[in-house]
């Protein structure tokens, strides 16, 4: 964690701080093959694909929200069958 006095007033603090010592330990651990795969993954090559995926996901979510039916906006309101009147 960065000490607050070292951060200038006009500079935003980092949200992610990479701890390289932990990386070295995990890279040398035999049970951490998953970490080596993620650590050396060429994510820069897939940045456009990731952006397109999240744009499409946003559009699907926005479309599904716009198609939801509000029961209070129907012509006639049907009471909940579980509520005894």
Structure tokens given for 50: 């990731």
The percentage of the chain sitting over the pLDDT mark of 70, rounded to a whole number, equals 58
Question: To the nearest whole number, what is the mean pLDDT of the chain?
Answer: 75
Whether 30 is covered by a domain: the verdict is: yes
Q: Give the number of domains in the chain.
A: 1
CA angle 62, 65, 82 (to 5 degrees): 165
Whether 32 is covered by a domain: the verdict is: yes
Whether 38 is covered by a domain: the verdict is: yes
Whether 85 is covered by a domain: the verdict is: no
Tell me how far apart the alpha carbons of residues 67 and 76 are, in angstroms, rounded to a whole number: 19
- Encode pLDDT of 5-20 as tens digits: 555 556 666 566 566 7
Whether 72 is covered by a domain: the verdict is: no
pLDDT computed for residue 1 by the predictor: 43
Average pLDDT for residues 53-72, to the nearest whole number?
83
Whether 70 is covered by a domain: the verdict is: no
pLDDT at residue 42 above 80? yes
Q: Which range of residues forms the domain containing residue 47? A: 15-62
């Amino acid at each position: 964690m960065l000490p607050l006095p070292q951060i200038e007033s006009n500079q935003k603090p980092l949200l992610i701080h990479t701890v390289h010592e932990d990386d070295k330990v995990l890279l040398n651990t035999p049970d951490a093959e998953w970490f080596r795969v993620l650590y050396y993954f060429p994510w820069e090559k897939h940045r456009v694909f990731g952006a397109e995926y999240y744009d499409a996901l946003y559009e699907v979510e926005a479309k599904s929200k716009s198609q939801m039916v509000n029961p209070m906006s129907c012509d006639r309101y049907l009471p909940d069958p579980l509520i005894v009147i």
